[in-house]
């Protein structure tokens, strides 16, 4: 489906996205059908089409017995009997292979006796899981190393000051029930506050949250965090928090949903560390609670009345959605720095398939570009990460993993790995309690439909039992309220309607917080004197906005180009949406009004040679007008020469692009004497539906007046 507020202009089109097809990239770049026009100065040969089909994922999602989730079986409550019976009927014909922890190495079946997975060379799948490599799990009577505060005390009482306990284990049921009903009815109380120069907008379910709701505040250091002992030692290495961390840490560790709209290459490492510390702490607390309860059940025997509620349907608890394999490498490195494991199983395989060249771009490339595309920029991957007492295992089966790290494309292919003839498998997403979307602005330029697809399959009731002990499943899982307890953390360089919609759809009973800065405006950071004209057009609705934009362009912009046909050379038209780009390309090719205007194009599907040829013709004057899309700039950052004026059919989402295209291109033309200093111009079209983009470009203080004032033209120099 198309993003809210857009008419069919979905993010990413319908093709796999990414800069694959490189030495470390797993996917060849796919090009769309080429456009030919009699008005182009040169008719090029049709481009060979590449089907770009991917073989179905060979991710083996076979369920694995997890002894940490297995304790001595207790009689299930009557309320679970119907659900258990239905699962029993479904899984009765299937005989489950179980692993015996006391089996000798010589007695274990060899790999030849098992069904061998296809090799990587046969499937092309670097993330395939070898089920024969799964090690025996720890039993309930295994040696346990617990923190001092988690001592093996029968009278152990959960810490009411620990957000983990109050959010998942011992929440105020009356308060939670009211908030869940309010969230379902979309009733929220909204408050705003400014902390350390950041604007925080908080939404809490219910018209009156009550005095029990803690106000948003700063956290000066990590001593106030409720961390496991091993993680406290890691956090103590950097106890003091900077101004950004002081704002975000209490929100994150308080299990609120978070949309942070000011991620940069400079603060990206600190955000990654915070997210990993929180995720690992959540995994360790969940695991230790299960182990303690296993031990208590084992110690008391079958006569015990103790019935713990400490589990979900399946083991995975954290899902990290990232844009590239190199982003996954950075996450894994941060996790290892926090945990300091004694052993890392399959680490060499991980390094071979994920780590790439960190310095494949020159220093002239922008920092945000190098952060995203340096290293292995393949956007098709998924990885299971499993924790034991002393080991981190990579490429573990999804059903025996604690953390799932995946790209949108990789996870979608894993869900659909059964093919058309088999049912999709997404039960391993049924008990996800934390979702982390890092570099969400980069995910926007992939296929956003894949993000929507993955989020739609979170926290659904499983279709098979997967050896679940339903007597230990938390009540809110059985009542289909898991999504009300899930925390979603989104880190993006900027805010967009798509991200706002994801954030708005989250129904965490603890509420949600949006954090964004006060924008000074990119127009003040161009570094060159440019006459900037912002023209506002009216649109009756968001759905009608693309048509209104096109009508304004052909009635107000095109006539000025046609009248100055001799002087129009060097006009760059920047088009954010691919669908708008196709519409303009066809108009320039077929409309009598533009018969005297030669033009070239650099679109989403243009190959590097095609883009280079179009840029060359634009510089020589053979093409007077050049159409240039936002996603082409995002993935390649072409340096275009000969630009004398810029027309922005729409504002870019990324404010950095405005500086690079307007300031960078015009300054380069002045340096090469293609343009007299101070004679560069830019014309920008915008509507009231572009308020988020406009704020980043003109500044937070100006955006209100430009949207509300009667005048429709605003000039800046």
d(CA 403, CA 339): 14
Predicted pLDDT of residue 717: 73
Q: How far is CA 55 from the centre of its chain?
A: 24
**By three-state DSSP, how is residue 645 classified?**
strand
Q: Give, to the nearest 10 degrees, the angle between helix 545-552 and helix 578-590.
A: 40
Lowest mean pLDDT among 53-62, 147-156, 622-631: 53-62
- Residues 6 or more apart from 595 whose CB is under 8 A from it? 39
- Both structure tokens of 316: 């995975």
Helices (H), 340-407: 347-354, 367-373
| 8 A C-beta contact, residue 593 and residue 558 | yes
Distance CA 634, CA 657 (A): 8
Lowest mean pLDDT among 42-56, 153-167, 426-440: 42-56
Instruction: State the pairing for strand pair 531-536/681-686.
Output: parallel
When mean pLDDT is compared across 182-186, 442-446, 549-553, 663-667, the lowest value belongs to 663-667
pLDDT tens readout for residues 305-343: 888 999 999 999 999 999 999 999 999 999 999 999 999
3-state helix/strand/coil string of 172-188: CHHHHHHHHHHHHCCCE
Confidence bin at 716 (pLDDT 50/70/90):
confident
Tokens of 681: 């111009």
Looking at the chain, the whole-number percentage of residues with pLDDT higher than 90 is 62
* Range name among 48-57, 186-195, 267-276 with the lowest pLDDT average: 48-57
Whether the CB-CB separation of 27 and 380 falls below 8 Å is answered with yes
Tell me which residue of 646, 656, 649 sits closest to 696, measured CA to CA.
Answer: 656
Q: Is residue 221 a contact partner of residue 240, using CB atoms and an 8 Å limit?
A: yes
Predicted local confidence at residue 489, as pLDDT: 98
Q: What is the pLDDT of residue 566?
A: 73
Q: How confident is the model at residue 421 (pLDDT cuts 50, 70, 90)?
A: low
Report how far residue 410's alpha carbon sits from residue 468's, in angstroms, rounded to the nearest whole number.
26
Which of 161-165, 204-208, 377-381 is least confident? 204-208
Mean pLDDT of the region 656-662: 93
Helix-then-strand count for the chain, H and E? 25, 18
Tally of CA atoms within 13 A in the half-sphere of 522 that contains its CB = 20
Q: Which range (10-19, 284-293, 461-470, 627-636) has the least confidence?
A: 10-19
With a cut of 90, say whether residue 437 has pLDDT above it.
yes
CA dist., res. 329 & res. 356, Å (int): 9
- Three-class DSSP category at 85: helix
Residue 6: predicted pLDDT: 39
Cα gap 427→87, rounded to integer Å:
13
Which residues lie below 8 Å from residue 535, measured CB to CB, with a gap of 6+? 552, 556, 683, 684, 685, 686, 712, 713
* pLDDT tens-digit map of 485-507: 999 999 999 999 999 999 999 99
Residue 41 has pLDDT above 50, yes or no: no
Q: Cα 296 from chain centroid? A: 40
Residue 647 β-bridge partners: 573, 683
- Residue 307: CB atoms within 10 A of its CB come to 13
């Amino acid at each position: 489906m198309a993003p809210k507020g857009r008419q069919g202009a979905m993010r990413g089109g319908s093709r796999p996205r990414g800069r694959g097809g490189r030495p470390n990239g797993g996917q060849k770049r796919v090009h769309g059908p080429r456009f030919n026009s009699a008005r182009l100065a040169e008719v090029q040969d049709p481009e060979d089409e590449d089907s770009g089909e991917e073989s179905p994922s060979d991710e083996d999602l076979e369920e694995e017995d997890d002894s940490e989730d297995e304790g001595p079986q207790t009689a299930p409550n009557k309320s679970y009997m119907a659900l258990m019976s239905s699962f029993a009927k479904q899984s009765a014909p299937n005989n489950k292979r179980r692993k015996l922890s006391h089996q000798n190495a010589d007695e274990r079946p060899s790999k030849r006796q098992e069904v061998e997975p296809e090799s990587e060379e046969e499937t092309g799948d670097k993330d395939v899981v070898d089920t024969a490599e799964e090690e025996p799990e720890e039993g309930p009577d295994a040696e346990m190393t617990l923190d001092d505060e988690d001592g093996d005390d029968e009278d152990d009482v959960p810490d009411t000051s620990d957000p983990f306990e109050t959010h998942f284990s011992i929440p105020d049921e009356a308060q939670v029930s009211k908030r869940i009903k309010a969230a379902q009815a979309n009733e929220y109380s909204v408050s705003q506050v400014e902390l350390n120069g950041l604007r925080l907008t908080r939404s809490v379910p219910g018209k009156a949250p009550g005095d029990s709701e803690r106000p948003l505040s700063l956290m000066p250091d990590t001593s106030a965090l409720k961390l496991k002992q091993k993680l406290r030692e890691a956090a103590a290495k950097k106890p003091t928090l900077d101004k950004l961390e002081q704002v975000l840490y209490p929100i994150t560790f308080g299990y609120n949903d978070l949309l942070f709209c000011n991620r940069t290459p400079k603060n990206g490492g600190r955000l990654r560390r915070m997210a990993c510390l929180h995720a690992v702490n959540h995994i360790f607390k969940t695991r230790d609670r299960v182990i303690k309860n296993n031990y208590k059940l084992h110690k008391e025997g079958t006569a015990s009345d103790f019935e713990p509620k400490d589990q979900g349907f399946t083991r995975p608890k954290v899902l990290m959605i990232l844009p590239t394999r190199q982003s996954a490498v950075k996450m894994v490195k941060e996790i290892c720095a926090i945990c300091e494991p004694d052993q890392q199983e399959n680490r060499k395989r991980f390094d071979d398939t994920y780590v790439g060249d960190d310095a494949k771009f020159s220093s002239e490339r922008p920092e945000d570009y190098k952060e995203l595309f340096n290293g292995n920029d393949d956007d098709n991957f998924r990885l299971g990460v499993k924790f034991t007492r002393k080991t981190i295992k990579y490429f573990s089966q999804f059903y025996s993993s604690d953390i799932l790290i995946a790209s949108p494309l990789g996870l979608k292919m894993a869900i659909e790995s059964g093919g058309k003839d088999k049912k999709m498998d997404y039960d391993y997403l049924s008990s996800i309690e934390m979702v982390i979307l890092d570099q969400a602005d980069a995910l926007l330029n992939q296929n956003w439909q894949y993000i929507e697809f993955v989020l739609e399959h979170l926290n659904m009731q499983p279709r098979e039992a997967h050896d679940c002990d339903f007597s230990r499943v938390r009540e809110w899982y059985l009542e289909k309220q898991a999504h009300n307890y899930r925390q979603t953390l989104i880190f993006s360089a900027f805010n967009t309607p798509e991200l706002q919609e994801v954030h708005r759809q989250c129904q965490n009973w603890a509420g949600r917080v949006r954090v964004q800065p006060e924008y000074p405006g990119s127009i003040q950071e161009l570094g060159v004197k440019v006459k900037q004209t912002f023209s506002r057009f009216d649109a009756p609705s968001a759905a009608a906005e693309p048509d209104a934009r096109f009508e304004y362009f052909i009635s107000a912009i095109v006539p000025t180009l046609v009248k100055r046909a001799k002087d129009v050379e060097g006009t760059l038209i920047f088009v954010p949406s691919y669908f708008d780009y196709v519409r303009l390309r066809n108009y320039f090719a077929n409309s009598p009004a533009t018969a005297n205007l030669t033009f070239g194009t650099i679109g989403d599907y243009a190959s590097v040679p095609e883009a280079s040829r179009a840029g060359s013709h634009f510089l020589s004057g053979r093409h007077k007008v050049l159409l240039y899309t936002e996603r082409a700039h995002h993935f390649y950052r072409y340096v275009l020469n000969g630009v004398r004026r810029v027309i922005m059919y729409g504002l870019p989402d990324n404010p950095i692009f405005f500086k690079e295209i307007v300031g960078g291109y015009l300054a380069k033309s002045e340096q090469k004497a293609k343009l007299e200093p101070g004679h560069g111009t830019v014309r920008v079209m915008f509507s009231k539906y572009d308020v988020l983009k406009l704020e980043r470009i003109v500044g937070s203080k100006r955006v209100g007046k430009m949207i509300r004032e009667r005048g429709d033209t605003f000039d800046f120099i």
